[in-house]
Amino acid sequence: MEFSESEVIAELSKIFSRHDPRVLVGIGDDAAVFTSPLQKSVITTDMAVEGVHFRREWSTPDEIGQKITAANLADVYAMGATPEHLVVAISLTGHESMVWIKELARGIEMEARSCDVLVIGGDIVRGPVITISMTAIGQIDEPILRSGAHVGDKLVITNLPGWSAAGLYLLQHKINVSAISPARCVERALAQFRAPSVSYPAAISLRGAHAMCDVSDGLLIQAGAMATKTKFVIKSDLLRLHPDFADLTGLAAQVGADVWDWIAAGGEDHAFLAAGIDLPGFEIGEVVQGTGVELQGVEKTPKGFTHFI
């Protein structure tokens, strides 16, 4: 590494430099200091590890920055909260160029700026692989919990999950994408994996939900995390009616994949799953008595990502 930590911090301070009267001490000290109105605060942390969550041969540094930022912001919005600040810690191997680091920071800043969120601090260390840890802080009146669903609620999603998993499949299997038609489906899948496009306004529109969750680890896994006091019945015939279903199914057929592995078990799309009455969004099922999740109309159990298996 041909530059010091202070030089990196100086460059990042320029990129993240925006005025906010609530920030008393920003980047450059041991910790950030900010004032806050007398509200409830929400805080979440997410991590991305090179080789597990991203690969530099698959994604540009700005895409990596956007992706980890989107994951954090989506979690805050899923609670019914408004994100305000981010703190970012990163381990670098020592072989990255300043250009690469600055592009990563610009990706973080681009996604943060889209939600009017400020990066106010963090840490940089050396490690065997690049690891990015990000903490998001926001304000909330009353949180929307995963466990708040009521019997009789309808289940809605903000967008069809599976596109990010499709992009990962194309890259992992080294698919010759030039032979796939239409090309827009390939482009969408790869883009959604590399830097997911999250509908934050859709999450805001769901603030009347009884329960909500960010679908980051797969639809069935996240629904299972919500269905601890009630049972979630997800109906494949409703999912098949989604406007994106035909495109995603066609892409899966051309590459020999099971589309339900992508839709029901794929992750990192950051769609929002909500339970409630008269909610905006696309209806995919209902809440009934019992516990757990039932996916109706799919014979084979979808396979997806797990963290430690």
What digits encode the pLDDT tens for the residues 79-90?
A: 999 999 999 999
DSSP state letter for 76: H
Q: What is the pLDDT of residues 252-294, one digit of tens each?
A: 999 999 999 999 999 888 999 999 999 999 999 999 999 999 9
Residue 31 pLDDT exceeds 70:
no
Name residues whose C-beta falls within 8 Å of residue 235's C-beta, 6 or more positions apart in sequence: 284, 285, 286, 296, 297
DSSP state letter for 177: G
Q: Taking residues 98-127, what's their average pLDDT?
A: 96
Q: Domain 5-140: which CATH class?
A: alpha beta
Determine contact, residues 224/292, Cβ cutoff 8 Å: yes
pTM over the 0.75 mark:
yes
> What is the reported pLDDT for 307?
45
Q: Taking residues 153-158, what's their average pLDDT?
A: 98
> In 3D, which of 129, 26, 116, 104 has the Cα closest to residue 77?
116
Q: What is the pLDDT of residues 5-25, one digit of tens each?
A: 678 878 888 888 888 887 776
Q: Domain 154-296: which CATH class?
A: alpha beta
Mean pLDDT of all residues belonging to the chain: 91
Confidence of residue 308 (pLDDT cuts 50, 70, 90): very low
Partners of residue 288 on adjacent β-strands: 231
Tell me which of 22-36, 41-55, 57-71, 210-224 is least confident.
22-36
Residues forming CATH 3.30.1330.10 domain(s) in the chain: 5-140
Q: Taking residues 175-197, what's their average pLDDT?
A: 95
Phi, psi (deg, nearest 5) at residue 163: -70, -40
Residue 305 pLDDT exceeds 60:
no
> In 3D, which of 188, 189, 185 has the Cα closest to residue 168?
189
Give the rounded percent of residues in the chain with a pLDDT score beyond 70.
94
Helix (H) or strand (E) holding 81: none
Place of tokens 């390939």: 186
Q: Taking residues 148-160, what's their average pLDDT?
A: 97
SS (H, E, C) 251-279: HHHHHCCCHHHHHHHCCCCCEEEEEECCC
Residues forming CATH 3.90.650.10 domain(s) in the chain: 154-296
More confident residue, 182 or 42: 182
Residue 180 pLDDT exceeds 90:
yes
d(CA 84, CA 137): 6
Alpha-helix runs per DSSP H in the chain: 5-15, 61-78, 98-114, 163-172, 183-194, 200-205, 219-226, 236-239, 245-255, 259-265
Determine contact, residues 274/202, Cβ cutoff 8 Å: no
Q: What is the pLDDT of residues 252-261, one digit of tens each?
A: 999 999 999 9
> What is the reported pLDDT for 73?
96
